[in-house]
Amino acid sequence: MQQIAMIFSLPLLTMTLPAILAINLIVGFGVFDAQARDTWPTPPINPDRSAQISGPLQGGTADHGKFPELKGPFATGSDVTKACLGCHTETGQHFMKNIHWTWSYVNPDTGQQLGKRYLINNFCTNSRGNEGMCAQCHAGYGWKDEQFDFTDETKIDCLVCHETTGNYYKTPNSAGNAACSVMFEGKPPLDLAAAARSVDLPQRANCGTCHFYGGGGDNVKHGDLSSALKEPPRTLDVHMGVDGLNFACTACHVTDQHVWAGSRYQVISKDKQGTGQPGLRPDVATCESCHGLAPHPVNSLTNFKLNDHVQSVACQTCHIPKIARGGVATIVDWDWRTAGKTRDGEGYHEEGYIQGNGVHRYTYKSIKGDFTYDENMVPEYAWFDGQMLYTTIDTEFDPNAEFIEINGFSGSRDDPDSRIWPFKRMHTWQPYDKGRGTLVYASLWGEDETAFWGNYDMGAAIAKGMADFGLDYSGEFGFIETLSWWPITHMVAPKENALDCRDCHQPKNSRLASVEGIYLPGRDHNDLLNILGTLLVGGTLAGIIIHALIRIFSPKGAHH
Amino acid sequence: MAMHRVKIFSLFERFWHWAQMILILVLLMTGFGVHGFHDLMSFGTAVTLHTSAAVTLLLLWAFSVFWLFTTRSWRHFIPTWQGMWGVMRYYAYGIFKGERHPYRKAYWRKHNPLQALAYLMLKIVLFPAIWITGLLYLFYFAWHNLPGAPLWLNGIAQVHTAAAFMILAFVLIHVYLLTTGHSFREHVMPMVTGFDEVDLSPEEEAYLRKDQPGDIR
C-alpha cells in the first residue's frame, strides 16, 4: 500500500510542484511590472505629429483653402456661416440639436430643465441674464438676451470649432459696464477670410477656447481641462500627448451629425457595452468604448485582479492620480462675500498665486471676490451612478443646511451602475434669497445701473436678475455655502504613473478612506481582532520567553 | 523493546513538511502585509505571492491527503488521552526539574498525545478555516454581486485573519518546543534525514529487518 502511494505520488509531486511554483512565479512576475513600467513608452501611432487624431474621420478630401466661396472678404461671422451652409446644406439643422447651440438639456428621466441657459453654478453663478458676457462661449453669433433667434442657422458659429489659425476670438455680445469692457479694448481685428480658409476637423485648441476657460479663467472650473492640454506631453495626458497618440478631443467625443458623445448631465459611470461589435463606432465617450471591459492584458495575477477592479472602480480613479496637473491651477474656493470692495471708488484686483507654469493668478477681484487655487491635488472619491442632482433656481432648500450641493450626485455599492469615481470639489460662498431659501439669478453684466460688475450692489443685481425672468425675490439676500462636484475624466496619466495598490490599500491615508460599502483589504480591519491577535501572538512569545527563562535558571536545569 | 534508529519520516513527509514551512512563512509574511501590518513589500507583490503560495499549498495539501490515506499514515494523527497528562505535566513542571520527556516514540505512533491533538486541531480546524475563507476571498469576483456581499467578505476576512494569528502562534510554539527535551538539532535532524530513535517491539524490529532493511540502522 505504502509503496503504491509512494510510486504514484512522489514522481507526480516532484514534477508537478515545481511546475506549479514556476507557473505561479511566472504569472506572478506581473508584480514586478512596477519596476519595468518606465520602459513602456506608448509609441506615436501618428508619425505626422502636426496632425491630431480626430476619431473615425481621417484624411479629408477637400482643401477648404481652395474654395472660391471662402475667399472672402467677409463682413461678419454669419457671412462665413452662410458660405459654409452653401455646401454643407444639412449641417445647420443638425447642429442646432446639440447643446453647444441650445444650452438647454431636459433630463429625459426627471423632466428637469437643465443646461447652461438655466442652471446656476458656484462660479459666476448664472449665465441667464448675463448672456452678453457668457454667450462668448455660445457656438453662435449675437446672443445677448431672450430675443435671440435659436432657429436662425446663419447665426451658428462654425469657425470657433473649425478654424485653425489660432487667432480667432469673440468679444462679448453687449458692451457691459465701462469698468469691464476695457478688457476687450485693443484686440486685433479678425481676418475672417483667413479663418474660413483654414477650416479643418476641430483641434484641441478649438474645444479649449471655451472648455479650458470656463468659469472665467484657465482651468477654473473643471480642474482636468486646461490650456496645458493644447500641446501636452504624454506624461500629462497619455491620449492627447503630442509625443504620444496626439488625440484631438473628437477622437473620444465622436460625433454623429454634430451631436457629441459624452454627457455632462447624464454620465455613464459604468460602461457595460465596451467596444461593441467590430466596425461599430462607440457612441459614448467612456474609457471602455476603446479599451473594452477587461482593459488590462491578462498576463499576471495583478492584471487579473486589476480587471476585477473595473467592476467597482472607475478607470479614472487609478489612472488620473491628481487633478490640475501640467502647471495650470484650478479654483477650489470662491468667496463672493468679499466681492464689491473698491479703492477710490474703483474696482481692483490682486495677484497672489503663482502656478506651476509661472503664471500669476488673481486671488481677489472686486467683481468676483476671493479665490483659492490648488494644483496637483488629490481628488475626492465617491460612489457615482452617473446621475447628477441639480439644485436649480426652482429648488427650495433649508437655509440652515451646512451647505447646498449645486450638483450633488447619487450612487452606492449596491447599485450595479455605480463605480468609485474621482471628483473635484468646488466650495463657494455665494448669494441666495434668504427669505425664500432659493438660489438667485444676479445681473452681473450689463450697461445699466444694476449690473454688479461696475456698480457693486449685490442687492440691486439680484433684484434685477430675478425680476427679468419673473421670479419672486424676498428682497433679502444672504450668502450660503455651496458645493459643486466635477467628475474627473481628463488628464489621464501614462500607466506607469497610475496609482499604486497601496494608495488605497493601506490602513492610514488611504485614498478611499471615506468610501463606504466595501471591504477594502489593507484599509479595513477589525480593531478588536487585531488587538486580540496581537495579544495572542505577543502572549505566546512572552510565554515562550518566560518558559525558556525558567528552564535556564531553574536549579536542576539539566537543559533537557 | 529496544531503541533503534528507524526511518520514521518518509521522503514525501519531509518534502511536505519543509515545503509547507516555506509556504506558510511566505503566507504569514505576505498576508500580514496585505492586512496592513507592515510595508516590507508592495501590495501587488504581497497579493501575488500570497495567492501563488496559497494555491501551491492547497495542491500540496491535496497530495498529502492522498498520501495520508493511501499509506494509512493518518493513524498518527488520531487523538488519544493516553499519556496526555504526563506530557502536559512535563511541559508545565517536569521540564524545569530536568526530567526526561515521558513519551517514547513508537513506530506506529511517532507523535506524543499533545502533538497528535495539536496537529489534528491544526488539520481539522485552523487549516480548513483559513483555506475555506481564503478561497471564498480569492473568488470574491464570482459572488460579489450577491446581496450583502461586502458584509460577508468582511466576516470572511476576519475569520481568515483570526486563523492567521492562531497559526502564527502555533508556529512559534512549534519551533520553541524543538528546543525542549533534546537539543534543537536532535529535533530537527529527523525531519532532514528521516531517521529517529524509536522504541521497537521485537516484532517490529524483525519486520523492518526483513522487509525494509534500509529503514533501520
Instruction: Collect all residues of chain A within an 8 Å Cβ-Cβ radius of residue B168.
Output: 537
Give the integer Cα–Cα distance in Å for A76 and A182. Answer: 22
Instruction: Collect all residues of chain B within an 8 Å Cβ-Cβ radius of residue A416.
Output: 145
pLDDT at res. A341: 95
**Cβ <8 Å between A524 and B63:** no
Angstroms from B1 CA to nearest CA on chain A:
23
Q: A392 is written with which cell numbers?
A: 436649480
Please write the tens of the pLDDT for every residue from A333-367.
999 999 999 999 899 999 999 999 999 999 999 99
Cα A166 to chain centroid distance, Å, stands at: 24
pLDDT at res. A543: 93
Q: Which residue has the higher pLDDT, A42 or A440?
A: A440
CA diameter of chain A: 114
Q: Are B43 and A505 in contact (CB under 8 A)?
A: yes
Give the integer Cα–Cα distance in Å for A418 and A386. Answer: 7
pTM here is 0.87
Q: Which of B56, B141, B176 sits opposite A24 (nearest CB)?
A: B56
In the chain, the amino acid numbered A253 is H
Rounded percentage of chain A residues whose pLDDT exceeds 90: 71
Backbone angles phi, psi at B56, to 5 degrees: -65, -45
In the chain, the amino acid numbered A536 is L
Q: Which residue has the higher pLDDT, A432 or B88?
A: A432
In the chain, the amino acid numbered A131 is E
CB interface of A with B, residues 444-503, below 8 Å? 500-502
Section A191-206 average pLDDT: 94
Of B42, B50, B59, B63, nearest in space to B24 by CA: B50
**Cβ <8 Å between A1 and B52:** no
pLDDT-derived band at A26 (thresholds 50, 70, 90) equals: very low
Q: Are A278 and A315 in contact (CB under 8 A)?
A: no
Beta strand pairing status for B195-200 and A477-487?
unpaired
Q: What angle do CA B59, B64, B67 make, to 5 degrees?
A: 130
Crossing angle of helices A2-28 and B43-70, in 10° steps, is 170
pLDDT at res. B210: 84
Range of the domain at B120: 2-215
Please write the tens of the pLDDT for every residue from A123-144.
999 999 999 999 999 999 999 9
Cell numbers 493518518 label which residue?
B74
CB interface of A with B, residues 255-314, below 8 Å? 300-302, 305, 308, 311-312
Q: Is the pLDDT of residue A19 over 60?
A: no
Give the integer Cα–Cα distance in Å for A100 and A97. Answer: 9
Please write the tens of the pLDDT for every residue from A441-485.
999 999 888 999 999 999 999 999 999 999 999 999 999 999 999
Q: B47 is written with which cell numbers?
A: 497579493
Read off the CATH number of the domain in which B204 is found. Answer: 1.20.950.20
**Cβ <8 Å between A8 and B180:** no
Of the listed ranges A297-301, A436-440, B32-36, the one predicted with least confidence: A297-301
Q: What angle do CA A156, A160, A165 make, to 5 degrees?
A: 140
Instruction: Collect all residues of chain A within an 8 Å Cβ-Cβ radius of residue B130.
Output: none
Cα A539 to chain centroid distance, Å, stands at: 52
Beta strand pairing status for A404-409 and A255-256?
unpaired
Q: What angle do CA B136, B130, A23 make, to 5 degrees?
A: 70
User: Cα separations (Å) of B61 from A13, A362, A434, B17, B173?
Assistant: 11, 68, 72, 11, 22
Rounded percentage of chain B residues whose pLDDT exceeds 70: 95
Give the integer Cα–Cα distance in Å for B121 and B127. Answer: 9
Q: Which of B71, B158, B172 sits opposite A540 (nearest CB)?
A: B172
**Cβ <8 Å between B161 and A533:** yes
Dump strand ranges (E) for A290-347: 330-335
pLDDT at res. B94: 76
pLDDT at res. A318: 97
pLDDT-derived band at A185 (thresholds 50, 70, 90) equals: confident
Give the integer Cα–Cα distance in Å for A160 and B11. Answer: 80
Residue A104, classed as helix, strand or coil, is coil
Which chain B residue is nearest to residue A413, measuring alpha carbons? Answer: B150
Of the listed ranges A55-64, B59-68, B135-144, the one predicted with least confidence: A55-64
Rounded percentage of chain B residues whose pLDDT exceeds 90: 42
Give the integer Cα–Cα distance in Å for A524 and A535. Answer: 19
Section A515-533 average pLDDT: 94
Q: Residue A472, exposed/middle/buried by CB under 10 A (0-12, 13-18, 19+)?
A: exposed
**Cβ <8 Å between A34 and B44:** yes
Q: A236 is written with which cell numbers?
A: 500629462
Q: Is the pLDDT of residue A530 over 60?
A: yes
**Cβ <8 Å between B43 and A21:** no
User: Cα separations (Å) of A437 from A121, A176, A280, A524?
Assistant: 16, 30, 49, 40
How many domains is chain B built from? Answer: 1
Give the integer Cα–Cα distance in Å for B175 and B173. Answer: 5
- Beta-carbon contacts of residue A236 (< 8 Å; ≥ 6 apart): A228, A229, A325, A326, A491, A493
Give the integer Cα–Cα distance in Å for A228 and A219. Answer: 9
pLDDT at res. A41: 42
B178 at A interface, C-beta within 8 A: no
pLDDT-derived band at A59 (thresholds 50, 70, 90) equals: low
